[in-house]
Structure 1
């Protein structure tokens, strides 16, 4: 059920996608809110075309969006945000002279209309 999408600007060369996904999956599925680790689907997406403000250089971003079925408490959502940002802070490259913005967003998916099946 949960979907974790990590988007980042392509100027973060050496972005550790595999390590990022492995560590994010570990920390997110360690939450008591996730009953079964197999339910988490995660991916990284690099953006070659992006803008951060009005300057054309010296800026980068990493944005993580965790999509969960609706019904989680504000405290549970904050816990997820903190777990995710801690990993982002630790693993995101910090190129010299580049301001890197990190952000985390928790999104409620509509429980009645969400469909998931296994093949």
Structure 2
């Protein structure tokens, strides 16, 4: 824990994927509620098969989901969400004529049933 997943439509030409992932990861790792940076697992998933609404328009999206062990306050979740949204706004390209949607979701993982081990 935490788990950071970034999904994006692959029609966003010029998205700096590795930089985006590194900067989002740095936001999470740098937060005071994250004790060990090695606990943050991040992944970037391009989507080649997607639908956005029903209109035949050029559209794309970037969605970030951060899964954290339950127990953090709404204020902490909002801080993390706002900081990650700022990174998305700065690094996501907007191709001409394309509507690009950005979203961030903070989700709780059940602390009682979550398992994590190290080898």
The normalised TM-score by structure 1 is 0.96
Structure 2 unmatched runs, 5+: none
Cα displacement string for residues 38-60 of structure 1 (whole angstroms, at most 9, x for unaligned residues):
11000110111111111233111
**What is residue 78 of structure 1 aligned with on the other side?**
78
**What is residue 43 of structure 1 aligned with on the other side?**
43
Q: How far did residue 82 of structure 1 move?
A: 0.5
Structure 1 unmatched runs, 5+: none
Once residues 27 and 88 of structure 2 are traced to their aligned partners in structure 1, the CA distance between those partners, rounded to angstroms, is 11
Once residues 10 and 17 of structure 2 are traced to their aligned partners in structure 1, the CA distance between those partners, rounded to angstroms, is 12
**What is residue 88 of structure 2 aligned with on the other side?**
88
**What is residue 61 of structure 1 aligned with on the other side?**
61
**What is residue 52 of structure 1 aligned with on the other side?**
52
Count of matched residue positions in the alignment of Structure 1 and Structure 2: 119
The 10-residue stretch of structure 1 (14-23 or 99-108) with the greater mean CA deviation from structure 2: 14-23
